[in-house]
Amino acid sequence: MKKILFSCLIPFVALAVLSGGCCSRSCSKGSAAIELFDGKTLNGWQYVLADASLKKEDVWSVKDGILTCKGTPVGAIYRGPEVKNFRLVVEYRWAPGTKPGNSGIFSRIHGPIKPLPACVEVQLQHGSAGDVLGLQGTRVAGGQPRFFEVKKHELAGDISGVKKTADAEKPAGEWNLVEITAADDVYRVEVNGTLINEVPGVEQCAGMVGLQSEGGVIQFRRASLTPRD
- Is the overall model pTM greater than 0.85, yes or no? yes
Domain 2-228: give its CATH code. Answer: 2.60.120.560
Q: How far apart are CA 79 and CA 190, in angstroms?
A: 22
Count of Cβ atoms closer than 10 Å to residue 144 Cβ: 12
- The DSSP output letter for 126 is T
Whether the per-residue pLDDT at 22 is higher than 70: the answer is: no
**CB-based contact 105:128 (threshold 8 Å):** no
What is the tens place of the pLDDT at every residue in 120-178? 999 999 999 999 999 999 999 999 999 999 999 999 999 999 999 999 999 999 999 99
Identify residue 120 by its one-letter amino acid code: V
Per-residue pLDDT tens over the stretch 72-123: 999 999 999 999 999 999 999 999 999 999 999 999 999 999 999 999 999 9
pLDDT band at 21 (very low <50, low <70, confident <90, very high): very low
* 202 class by beta-carbon count within 10 Å (0-12 exposed, 13-18 middle, 19+ buried): buried
DSSP states of 29-93: -----EES--SS--TT-EEEESSTTS-GGGTEEEETTEEEE---SSEEEEEEEEESEEEEEEEEE
What is the rounded CA–CA span in Å between residue 163 and residue 222? 24
pLDDT digit string, tens, across residues 30-81: 578 999 999 999 999 999 999 999 999 999 999 999 999 999 999 999 999 9
